[in-house]
């Protein structure tokens, strides 16, 4: 019984192998490309990592953004993801008990990132690590 099933499976696979032509594979690939490009026009929510440099200190934050699939893919993989910031551009909150250590306000950082990426709507920004700056 098992032998018959295996023989039928081999026969079916052999027939299928003969029927798959290069033209079929090209048509299948084109259909997948058109389907994927159509899906990229919808609006999605995703996490995009962004590198923020404040006065020479580099920090990595994760932003939750909303936008079309094309804009999200572009921001995630193709655009320059480093944002250089002067300390006056964001709100710095001093940490009590530690000198020259500050926390960056999430709302000011979110606003700054959304201004630099107008094609995406920045919904939230992860908390940035404390930064150590000398006061001038």
Residues 64 and 30 in one domain: no
Residues 74 and 100 in one domain: yes
Nearest CA-CA partner of 131 in 78, 32, 57: 57
Strand segments, DSSP code E, in the chain are: 43-54, 57-68, 82-85, 92-94, 101-104, 121-125, 131-132
| Contacts for 89 with CB less than 8 Å, ≥ 6 apart | 108, 112
Residues 32 and 53 in one domain: no
Into how many domains does the chain fold? 2
Residues 11 and 48 in one domain: no
Residues 56 and 112 in one domain: yes
| pTM attached to this predicted model | 0.70
Q: What is the pLDDT of residue 32?
A: 95
Full pLDDT tens readout for the chain, 136 residues: 667 776 666 666 666 666 778 888 899 999 999 999 999 999 999 999 988 888 788 888 999 999 999 999 888 888 777 888 887 888 888 888 888 888 888 888 899 888 888 889 999 999 888 887 765 5
Nearest CA-CA partner of 103 in 85, 88, 116, 91: 91
Residues 53 and 102 in one domain: yes
Residues 64 and 89 in one domain: yes
Residues 110 and 67 in one domain: yes
Domain that holds residue 59: 43-132
Containing 27, the helix (H) or strand (E) segment is helix 22-39
């Amino acid at each position: 019984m098992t032998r018959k099933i295996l023989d039928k499976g081999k026969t079916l696979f052999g027939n299928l192998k003969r029927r798959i032509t290069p033209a079929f594979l090209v048509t299948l690939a084109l259909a997948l490309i058109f389907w994927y490009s159509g899906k990229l026009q919808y609006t999605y929510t995703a996490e995009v990592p962004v590198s923020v440099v404040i006065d020479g200190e580099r920090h990595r934050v994760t932003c939750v953004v909303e936008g079309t699939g094309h804009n999200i893919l572009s921001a995630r993989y193709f655009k320059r993801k480093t944002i250089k910031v002067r300390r006056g551009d964001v709100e710095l909150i001093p940490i009590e008990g530690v000198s020259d250590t500050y926390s960056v306000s999430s709302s000011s950082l979110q606003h700054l990132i959304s201004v630099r990426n107008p094609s995406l709507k920045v919904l939230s920004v992860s908390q940035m690590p404390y930064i150590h700056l000398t006061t001038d």
